[in-house]
Homo-oligomer: A and B are copies of this chain.
Amino acid sequence: MSRINTTTADPAGSNSPTMADLARLAGTSKITVSRALADSPLVNPDTRARIQAIAREHGYKLNVNARNLRLRRSHTIAVIVEMKPSSDRSMLDPYPLNLLGGITQELTTAGYSVLLTTRHEANAAAVHAADGLILLGQGAHQDAVRRFDKLGLPMVVWGAPSNRDDHVVVGSNNRQGGALVAEHFVTIGRKHPVFVGNPSHPEILDRLNGFVDTLAEHGIKPLLMRRDEFTMAAGIDAVHSLAVREAEFDSIFACSDLLAIGAIRALEELDKSAPRDVSVVGYDDTPLSASFLPALSTVRQDWQEGGTLLARKVLALIQGQNAQSETLPVTLVLRAT
């Protein structure tokens, strides 16, 4: 319907002019057009303006493929996400999506495109063509990282930094997250804190370590309630267990907002309340936490900033600069609990 504006004389039926067309219109050569559109100082300001005007007037659109072919790069970053529905946290909160926001914003303003792929489809030719790789999601742990490393492309990974591998890793400071919560509990005079979560995730382990270490500085030793799931049910169950074994506790650090909310719910069943009897802090600052009653205190990660940083690091690597792994500060959002 919309491709009729091309004369039959037009060789290929494409409705968008090429640089050759513009050159003909402007009475110059292709290369001058190329330079003019690139704002090159090599071309006379007047002709530059004239050519740009002609280009605008005729709705010129750069053929990215031609340019990329000539320049031997794709101006594309492949973002590889694990999106398979699973009981794991990746589906419980949209964190890869939030990261994607920062990533796309940063990359597109830098003139790069974002090629989205799942781990399994990442063999496509387009991924090889990318100038760089960003790995997101749980898949970034062990095997996948090594697999993509073999491509020999600049690569940045989201997650917890590991000693074994030497990739550039960007992640939020989970250790600090744990430490902040610990300090908070100490400040408000809590003496018997509990940690709820699954420390087999590297990120969660960091939170636990920050929590434990900081409390140790004040001579406090927390109780560890290991729960594998990040669900509300697990939170409820954790508190029930505490009640059953008649453990003494006055504060809970839950590794997700859902866990925290489950915990609060269970407390209420025991005729205890947050924060009167037990302080509760969750993690992630999901929309839930702000609107929950009582409003949930939680640790917030800056996803937008994380995405931005991931993008900047790949771009740096692509330009031959070396990039360091980096952890982002988190903030403790104190609300009612």
Contact = CB atoms under 8 A, between A and B. Distances in A.
Contacts of A75: 126
A15 interface: yes
Contact of A111 (B85, B111, B114, B124): B124
Interface in A173-193: none
A69 B233 CA distance: 54
A128 B59 CA distance: 11
B91 A118 contact: no
Contacts of A121: 104-105, 108-109
A18 B284 CA distance: 47
Number of copies: 2
Contacts of A117: 104, 108, 113-114
A12 B100 CA distance: 34
A205 to B, nearest CB: 23
B126 A113 contact: yes
A215 interface: no
Nearest to A61: B128
Nearest to A230: B287
Contact of A63 (B69, B97, B231, B258): B69
A9 interface: no
A262 B299 CA distance: 22
Interface stretch (A26-34, A39-47, A274-282, A288-296): A288-296
A311 to B, nearest CB: 12
Interface in A97-149: 97, 100-101, 104-105, 108-109, 111, 113-118, 121, 124-126, 128-129
13 contacts: A61-B125, A62-B128, A64-B128, A64-B129, A85-B101, A93-B94, A105-B121, A108-B118, A111-B124, A113-B117, A114-B117, A231-B290, A265-B293
Given A108-B117, A115-B113, A232 B291 contact: yes
Contact of A118 (B2, B93, B105, B293): B105
